[in-house]
Every structure is written in structure tokens, then in C-alpha cells.
Chain A
Amino acid sequence: MEDMVEHDAAATQDAGAGGHWTAWLEARGIRLSRRPASAGPLRRAVDGRVFGGVAAGIARRTGFDAGLIRALLVIGALLTTGLLAALYVIAWLVIPADGTDTAIGTKALTDKRGIGLALGLTSLLAVGLIIASALHVAWVTGLAVPLLVCAAGLVLIARNAPESERQYLRDLADPVAPATGGRRSRRLLRIGVAVLLLIAGLAALLSGHASTYQLLLPLAGVMLLVGGFALALGPWWLRIARDLVGERQARIRAEERAEMASRVHDSVLQTLALIQRRADDPHAVTKLARAQERELRSWLFDGRAPGSLGDQAGTLADGVRLLQQEVEAQHGITVEAVTVGNCELDEELTALLAAAREATVNAAKWSGAPVVSVFAEVEPGSVSLFVRDRGCGFDPDAVSGDRKGLAESIRGRVARRGGTATIRSAPGEGTEVSLVMPRMAAGSPRGATAATPAGRLPRRP
């Protein structure tokens, strides 16, 4: 907002001085005058970045307008046939981001698989470029070096950037990503574009050569080249691909382990803690142990996860009601549950419910408050769950990392499914856990009125 005002003021001033084109530029948000430069080392900007924040960082360091620097970068990249773009990517790798001191490149040096992938990709690209040069497509070869550098650099960035930056890049790529999805219309679109490109490429090739014979000779050479490269580099490419698949599987396994750990924590560990507290009451201990045994058996042999609630409950409101009943029965406190709207439980919402249950159990066990409030609201775009108590509260920053309940069963469980968990608490002021899960497909947002299938009810005028 402030920027806009300044731009406008500067624009009128310059127009008075007679510079029409500066006024034109500034009306478009590009400021030519310099502002005082900031001191300190050069850092990639996080606020106001478009890609890596290099231009914004340079703008801040030198005092020139970021839009101006971006325009110069684009023009420069065009004039140097992409060399400047390659430099940009290198700068992205080498310059640390705001608030950090290590560049992505430093981390990338230790990422063996990433380097392998980058090399594999560049070698593949190189083969393609060699083929192109054999076909005398001169303008492609002019781009060769910058293209290779950019590809390799971007691979390393995508693999080694900090999580926040990767999220930003994913959001940036979001409009493009669905094109690779399985939707029929998208697939048709993709195939259409591919066919167009092939036709255009063939046309370009044929128009540059006088006869078919003249075309066949280089094509044969290209075939031999491809065969040679495939023989020489093929095994290496395969290994890289296999490594990547292995890495992905390892990540999935780690996630499964985390999921399992939080399940065990919610059921077995919780029960063991309860048993320790009630060691003097053999009747209660037997009851707890038997219930736990039943739960564990149904998990191991019937695949019904403990603490999930989702198997018995079809809708969110059912799930909240079950949660209320279970926690009230197990811990002898009052759970005041309010649900607004309703929807079917899917995997994400089941995880959300399980996290809410854990938060409620935590409140019942530690807060000392006689009443815990649970509020669930279904909105078209998201489902929110709040668990609140007016008990003793705690300092969230002071909780040690090994308290599995908070870190894994609540935060981790929700985060793995794309939701967020916020915990607000202070000693003496109670605790509130807010859990929000975005709704993906959300067939038809079912309001409360639709909580029963409309057909079953007599419609009133």
C-alpha cells in the first residue's frame, strides 16, 4: 500500500519534469530512482520473491526497484541466450535466504542422490541436444549450456531447499501440476499439446532439408548416437532411477512407522499409564487391561485401528459423539461436545478426529479441569475442531521433545494429512488445541439440514 502511494507521487513528479517514459514505467510499478541501500550481506529475499528471491534480494541490497532488476534480468537472459538465467539459478544455490547463513548449495553438496539425479538429467538433456545439433537445429544448441545448468541447479534446489521454500515452490507449480494428473480432459489436453509439438518439430525439420534422403542420413546417425549413449549411460540412469524409488519407499516406510507409533501411543501406552495410576484398584486395572486387549486384537487381526473412531462412526458428528462418550467413560470428566454441520468421514477427517481425541484425553489427564469443550465445525472448504479446557495449562515451548502425545499424536498426525494443529496454552489459563483440515474433493458440502438424506424426510412447504 505504502509503495503504491510512493510510486504515484514519484510518477506525477517525473511527469512534470517531462520524462514521459519514466512516468509510463512508474505507472506500471517500476521505479527508476534509487532508495537507500540496506547494509549487511546479500541475502535472497523471502518477502516479495517471485522465484528464488534473488532479484528482490539484489534490489534490497542496492536500493533499486525489484521490478526494474527483474526486467533487466529478463532482457539480459534473452540477449545472452539464457546465460543470465543460468547465473540466476547459480545465485539461487549460492546465496543464503533471509535469516539463514547456509546456502542451498552447501547442503546440496552432501546430497549424493540429488547430485546423481542432476547429472543423470543433464546427461539425458545433453543427448537430446546432441541429437538436435545433428539435425542442425542451431537455436537449440545455443541454449545448451544454460539449459543444462538450469536443469541441474533446479533439481538440487527442489531437493535441498528448506521446507518452507519447497512449499512455496510447490504452490508456485500448483497451476501446472494438475496437468500431469489423471483427469480425462487434462489427459486429452496434454496429448493434444504433445501432438502439436511433434507436428511442429517435424515441419521445422522437413522445411530445413531439401530431400528425404538428406534427412535420413543425419537421422540414422542420431539413432546410432542414441544407441551408444543408452549402452554407455543406461545402467547408470537406471541406478539413479532405482535409488530414487528406494528413497521414496524409505520415506513411506518412515511415515508408516510414525503413524503406527502414534497409534500405539494412543492405545497401549495410554492404557499402561492409566494402569500405573490405578495400581491399587485391581478391578479397574483388569477392566482397562481387558479393554486394551480387545482393542489390540481387533487392530492386529481385523485391521481396525485403535483410537481411530472412524470405523464405528460414519460421519463427523457421530465421531465427535463417540469421542465424547469414550473419554467421559474412561476418564470420568464431562466432555461438552458441539458440532456445527456434518459430513462423511474420510481418511483425513478420521486422522483429525484421532488427534482431537488425543487432545481431549490429554486435557482429561493433565489439565485438572472438570469440563473439556469440543467444538467441531464443517465449512465448505475446511473442517475445524477445537478442544478447550480451563485447567492448569502449560508452556508449549517448554514441553520436551519426547512427549509423544503433543508432537506425534496431534501435530504430526494432522500435518501428515495436510492439516494444521495449533496449541494455545499458558500456565494457569487453560489450553486450547485448534485442528484444521482442508477438505479436498468435498463432493457436496453437507450442511446440517442435509445431515439426513433429504429423501427420507417429508419435505415441508
Chain B
Amino acid sequence: MSSLHGEAAASAQPRVFIVDDHGMFRSGVRSELSGDVEIVGEADDVAPAIAEISKCQPDVVLLDVHLPGGGGQEVVAAVKPDHPQVRFLALSASDAPEDVIAVIRAGARGYVTKTISGPELVEAIRRVAAGDAVFSPRLAGFVLDAFASGVAADIDRPSFDSELDQLTAREREVLRLIARGYTYREVARELFISVKTVETHVSSVLRKLQLSSRHQLTRWATERRLT
């Protein structure tokens, strides 16, 4: 992006909104992302977040899973119906599977841990802005776990949409590599496929995660939290 295309580059910068109850974290993210994305606003709780996001219509919302006034999924659920073009990337330090699955099921396009490095976060935001899904190793592990455990348990319920309730072998492979800490590019190289194909697989997994009607998924997440 040379200076000739400065304007194009600026408009290509995704407009980002940060929702997190820790001021320290918000300012940290702000300084890490400055120059790569345009930060259009921030909020520290559910109610102000819903109002602000509806007003400024960002491309991507960085959403803390835990907020004092409720879970991050409430923000997604409130904004999504009226503004479907706003995309959400969940951020969390706690990694409780129940919360993560809930916020993804509500409609977030991805999930990363708060320990993520600046450049990686920028890449994740770009991906979500482009409509792709972003899976951290942990989320990939969750999904593998949740979808692996139920195959036998669901046999007695033939009415299930089997396409939505199962991962393909390839999707499993991709998730496994992501869980092992591979980036999309490394996954693509390992499996001899293009990065675009990796993104397609991950998006398809995200869709299954959001649309699958298996009660298994919720139950699995709840049980994991109790252990």
C-alpha cells in the first residue's frame, strides 16, 4: 500500500469497536492495533455496547465474553437481527467452554484468547471482516471434543440433520492442526491445500457449530464447566 493508494488503504482498514470491561485492556488493544485498523469506539458493558454499536455500525466488534451486565452473547443477540453486516470476534481470558460456545452460537464469527499477539489479532480481525471464521487452538479443540463425543449418543435420534451434526474428515484434520497451534497458512501447507480452502473448511465448521440442533453441544459445554 503506497501513499498513492493511501485513501484506498484507509477505507480498506476495518472499522473496529471494542467491548471490554477492563479499561487497561481496551487501551492496550487500542495501541496495539493503531495503524492497522480504525477504532471507531469502545464500551465497557452490555447496554452501552448495544446502543453504541447500533449507532456507529463497525465492521468488526471485538467482544469480551465476560461482561458485568451479562454475557457477550447478549450483545450479539441484540445487535445481529437489525445489523447483520456487523461481525463479532469473541475475546476471552477465561476459556470456559460454555461461554465460548454460547457466544459463537449467538453468531460470533470467531474466538481468540486474550494472550494473542498484536499482529495475529490484526490478521484475525481482517479475516472476520472479510466474512471468514477465526478459530483459536482452544476453540478448535472444543469443537473437536463436542462433535467427537456425540456420534454414538445421537444414533437413537435419527431425525437429526446428519450433515450439520458431523464434521467431515477434512474438517477434522484442519481443526486438529489448528488445535496443534498451526496458523491457517501452515495448515494449508501441511495439507497441500490453499489458504482459501482452509478458510472455507473453518467457515463450514462455524456454520455447523452455529446451526447444529444437537442438544449434545450445549450439554457438553455445561458438563465441561462442572468438572
Contact = CB atoms under 8 A, between A and B. Distances in A.
B83 interface: no
A448 B179 CA distance: 16
Interface residues of B, number: 26
B205 to A, nearest CB: 14
A377 B176 CA distance: 9
Interface size range on A against B:
20 to 34
A228 to B, nearest CB: 65
A373 interface: yes
Contact of A340 (B113, B145, B223, B226): B145
Interface string B211-227: 00001100110011011
A87 interface: no
Between B140, B141, B153, the greatest number of chain A beta carbons within 10 A of the residue's beta carbon is seen for: B141
B144 A340 contact: yes
Given A339-B141, A340-B141, A388 B181 contact: yes
Contact of A375 (B137, B153, B219, B224): B137
A425 to B, nearest CB: 14
Contacts of A388: 180-182
A336 B148 contact: no
A448 B224 contact: yes
Given A340-B145, A377-B144, A449 B179 contact: no
B220 A375 contact: no
A334 B141 contact: no
A388 B182 CA distance: 9
B146 interface: yes
Contacts of B113: 336
A336 B223 contact: no
A314 B209 CA distance: 31
B148 A340 contact: yes
Given A373-B180, A388-B181, A448-B224, A338 B141 contact: yes
> Closest 4 CB pairs between A and B?
A373-B181, A338-B141, A447-B149, A449-B149
Given A448-B145, A457-B226, 18 more contacts: A334-B115, A336-B113, A338-B137, A340-B141, A340-B179, A371-B181, A375-B141, A375-B181, A388-B182, A447-B149, A448-B146, A448-B148, A448-B224, A449-B150, A449-B216, A449-B220, A452-B227, A460-B219
22 contacts: A338-B141, A338-B179, A340-B141, A340-B144, A340-B145, A340-B148, A340-B179, A371-B181, A375-B137, A375-B141, A375-B176, A375-B179, A377-B144, A377-B176, A432-B180, A447-B148, A448-B224, A449-B153, A451-B227, A452-B226, A452-B227, A457-B223
